Amino acid sequence: MYDVKSLKAEEFISDEEIKYTLKYAQDNKDNLELIDRIIEKAKLRKGLDHREASVLLACEDKEKIEQIYELAHQIKQDFYGNRIVMFAPLYLSNYCVNGCVYCPYHAKNKHIARKKLTQEQIKAEVIALQDMGHKRLAIEAGEDPVNNPIEYILESIKTIYSINHKNGAIRRVNVNIAATTVENYRKLKEAGIGTYILFQETYCKEAYENLHPTGPKHDYAYHTEAMDRAMEGGIDDVGLGVLFGLEMYKYEFAGLLMHAEHLEAVHGVGPHTISVPRIKRADDIDPDMFDNGIDDEIFAKICALIRVSVPYTGMIISTRESQKVREKVLPLGVSQISGASRTSVGGYAKHEMEEDNSAQFDVSDTRTLDEVVNWLMKLGYIPSFCTACYREGRTGDRFMALCKNMQILNCCHPNALMTLKEYLEDYANEETKKIGLELIDKELEKIPNPKVKQTAYEYIHDIGEGKRDFRF
Ligand code: SF4
Ligand code: SF4
C-alpha cells in the first residue's frame, strides 16, 4: 500500500504504485492535452510529482520533448544561473564485504588491488587535490566494519579538514559510505560533513536483492530507509541517486522522485542533490552484462526531467560521462560536476602504475581540473568552488529558503566569482586566468543589489592582493 509518509521502504517506494505509474504514463504518452497541462504546471517552477514526470518521460513527441528541454534550461538559469560547482571524489578504501555484482570492489573479486589509505596517505592525497584547486570533496569507501569502521571515516574527515597547504583548504567534505545507524549518522554530522550521499542503485526490490546477493547491503529496507535515519541523526543535506543501467530506467525514475517526495513529506526538506551515474566498464565488470542500459538521448531526457520535477535539488554528473555527454546535459540542469577525478585508492598523490587496478570504474573525462575550468568558461559557465552555505550553516530548509527566495544572484553568484578568482590566482595557467578575469568582470555587473555588488568588487580586488575566503 503506497504511503508517501510511511517510514517503511516498501510503502513509500511502493512497487504497486510504480507499476501503476508506468502504466498510466504509457497509456497517456500520446495524450497531448495532458502533456501540455503538465508542462504548464512545470512552468510554475514548483516541480512535478512522479506520475506527471513519468508521463513526460514516456512522451515521444519531438516538439514536446524540445519544450521540456527549453524549460529545463530556463529553470536551470533561474535557479542556478550559469554556475557549475566543482568537486572531486576521494577514495579512502576499497575493502568491501558486499557482493554487488556491478562493482569491482565486490568481496569475491580476488584480482583487484585492495588498499586503504593511512592518515599520512590521506594527507598526501588532500595536498595533491588542494594543489589542483579543489575545495570540495566527496569521500568514498567500501563497507567493511573491520577495515573501514566509522572511527576510520571520522578520523579521515578530521585529517582532511585539518590540512592547509599553501592557500589550499578543503572546505566541505561530502560523504558517500554504506547505509548505517542513526548513531553513526549523528557522529558524521558532528564531524562536520556536508552532504551524505547514498545511491539506491535500483528501487526495484527484486532486482535489488539479485544485484546484491551477499553482505549487509542485501537488505533492501535497511538501505532504502537510510536517508530517514540520516535525517534523524541530524544530517539535513542528503544526496540520492540510482545507477542507471541496472533496472528499467522508467521504474528507477519514478522511484527516485517518490523517494524525493517522501523526504519532503516526512522531513520537510527534499534531497540536496541527485546524481545520475550510468554503469561503466571496470575490472571484473562488463556493462554489456546489464541489458537495461540507456543511450545518450534518454539520459539527456532524464536529466531535463529531473530538473523540471525537483527544481531546488542540485544535479551531479561525474567523470563517468565523456566531455561530449557532459556538454549535452550541462544546459539541461546539471549544477555540479567532478573534475580531474581519480577513481582509485591513492590515485591523486601518485599516478597509478599500470598494474594497479584499484579503480572503481573507468573515467571517460580524463582532463585536468584546469582544462575543465577553461572549457566551462569557454562554454559560458562560471566554475564555482563555493562552499558558503555549508560554512554559514545554511543547510537543509535554510538552504532551500535561499533558493526559493531567488537570492541566487545576490549570493551564489558573487560567491562563485570570488572562489573562481581564488582559483585563478592560485592554480590557473595563464590562458585560463585571462579568460577567467574577463568573465569575472562581465559577471560582476549582473549582481542586482548595489551594496552586494560593491562589496563583491572590493572582495575580488582583495583576493588579488592575497586575501582569501570571503563569502556572502
Ligand atoms: S558498490 Fe559499494 S558496497 Fe557494493 S561492492 Fe562496490 S564498494 Fe562495496
Ligand atoms: S551560496 Fe550556497 S547554494 Fe550558493 S553556490 Fe554557495 S554553497 Fe551553493
Residues 162, 68 share a domain: no
Residues 206, 284 share a domain: yes
- The answer to whether 174 and 139 are in contact (CB under 8 A) is yes
* C-alpha closest to that of 57 among 72, 43, 45: 72
Q: What is the pTM of this model?
A: 0.95
User: If you measure from the C-alpha of residue 275 to the centroid of ligand 2, how many angstroms do you get, rounded to a whole number?
Assistant: 18
Q: What is the mean pLDDT of residues 409-431?
A: 95
Choosing from 95, 96, 209 the residue with most ligand 1 atoms within 8 A of its CB, the one to mutate for a pocket test is 96
Q: Kindly state the percentage of the chain with pLDDT values over 90.
A: 82
The ligand minimizing its distance to the Cα of 241 is 1
User: If you measure from the C-alpha of residue 146 to the centroid of ligand 2, how many angstroms do you get, rounded to a whole number?
Assistant: 37
| pLDDT above 80 for 431 | yes
Residues 98, 137 share a domain: yes
Domain count across the chain: 3
Please indicate whether residue 122, judged by its CB atom, sits closer than 6 Å to ligand 2: no
Range(s) of the domain holding residue 66? 9-76
Strand (E) or helix (H) holding 432: helix 430-444
Q: How far apart are CA 196 and CA 213, in angstroms?
A: 25
Residue 164 lies in a domain: yes
Residue 184 lies in a domain: yes
User: If you measure from the C-alpha of residue 397 to the centroid of ligand 2, how many angstroms do you get, rounded to a whole number?
Assistant: 13
Please indicate whether residue 388, judged by its CB atom, sits closer than 6 Å to ligand 2: yes
The pLDDT of residue 361:
73
Residue 117 lies in a domain: yes
Please indicate whether residue 335, judged by its CB atom, sits closer than 6 Å to ligand 2: no
The pLDDT of residue 351:
54
The answer for residues whose C-beta is within 8 angstroms of residue 445's C-beta and 6 or more apart is 453
104-143: burial string, b at 16+ Cβ within 10 Å, e else: bbbbebeebbbbbbeeebbbbbbbbbbbbbbbbbbbbbbb
Instruction: Tell me 315's DSSP state.
Output: E
C-alpha dihedral over 206, 207, 209, 210, to 10 degrees? 120
User: If you measure from the C-alpha of residue 156 to the centroid of ligand 1, how many angstroms do you get, rounded to a whole number?
Assistant: 19
| pLDDT above 70 for 89 | yes
Q: How confident is the model at residue 80 (pLDDT cuts 50, 70, 90)?
A: confident
Give whole-number Cα distances, 398 to 59, 114, 198, 406, in Å.
36, 41, 22, 13
Q: What is the mean pLDDT of residues 124-145?
A: 97
Q: What is the mean pLDDT of residues 196-206?
A: 97
Report which protein residue has its CA nearest ligand 2's atom 5.
412
The ligand minimizing its distance to the Cα of 212 is 1
Domain boundary among 366, 390, 420: 366
Ligand 2 atom having least distance to the Cα of 416: 5
Residues 59, 206 share a domain: no
Q: How far apart are CA 200 and CA 208, in angstroms?
A: 9
Choosing from 390, 411, 471 the residue with most ligand 2 atoms within 8 A of its CB, the one to mutate for a pocket test is 411
Residues 263, 331 share a domain: yes
| pLDDT above 60 for 207 | yes
Residues 150, 45 share a domain: no
Residues 116, 91 share a domain: yes
The pLDDT of residue 343:
87
Choosing from 115, 143, 284 the residue with most ligand 1 atoms within 8 A of its CB, the one to mutate for a pocket test is 143
Question: Which residue type is seen at 121?
Answer: Q
User: If you measure from the C-alpha of residue 218 to the centroid of ligand 2, how many angstroms do you get, rounded to a whole number?
Assistant: 36
Residues 148, 26 share a domain: no
Residues 340, 236 share a domain: yes
Residues 278, 159 share a domain: yes
Residue 396 lies in a domain: no
Residue 373 lies in a domain: no
Cross-strand bridge partners of residue 422: none
The pLDDT of residue 60:
97
Domain boundary among 336, 366, 396: 366
Residues 444, 312 share a domain: no
- The answer to whether 166 and 185 are in contact (CB under 8 A) is no
Grid cell at residue 36: 501540455
Domain boundary among 313, 347, 366: 366
The pLDDT of residue 287:
73
Could you tell me how many residues make up the chain?
472
| pLDDT above 60 for 353 | no
The pLDDT of residue 292:
66
Residue 393 lies in a domain: no
Q: Kindly state the percentage of the chain with pLDDT values over 70.
A: 96
Instruction: Tell me 98's DSSP state.
Output: -
Write out pLDDT tens, residues 272-319: 999 998 887 677 777 777 766 788 899 999 999 999 999 999 999 988
The pLDDT of residue 88:
97
Which 3 state secondary structure label does DSSP give 84? strand
Choosing from 217, 222, 360 the residue with most ligand 1 atoms within 8 A of its CB, the one to mutate for a pocket test is 217
- The answer to whether 389 and 346 are in contact (CB under 8 A) is no
Strand (E) or helix (H) holding 454: helix 450-464
Write out pLDDT tens, residues 315-338: 999 888 888 999 999 999 999 999
The pLDDT of residue 182:
98
Residues 164, 264 share a domain: yes
Residue 339 lies in a domain: yes
The ligand minimizing its distance to the Cα of 114 is 1
Residue 19 lies in a domain: yes
User: If you measure from the C-alpha of residue 102 to the centroid of ligand 1, how many angstroms do you get, rounded to a whole number?
Assistant: 8
- The answer to whether 370 and 428 are in contact (CB under 8 A) is yes
Q: How confident is the model at residue 398 (pLDDT cuts 50, 70, 90)?
A: confident
219-254: burial string, b at 16+ Cβ within 10 Å, e else: ebebbbbbbbbbbbbebbbbbbbbbbbbbebbbbbb
The answer for residues whose C-beta is within 8 angstroms of residue 392's C-beta and 6 or more apart is 471
* Helix residue ranges, H only, 30-149: 32-42, 50-58, 62-80, 119-132
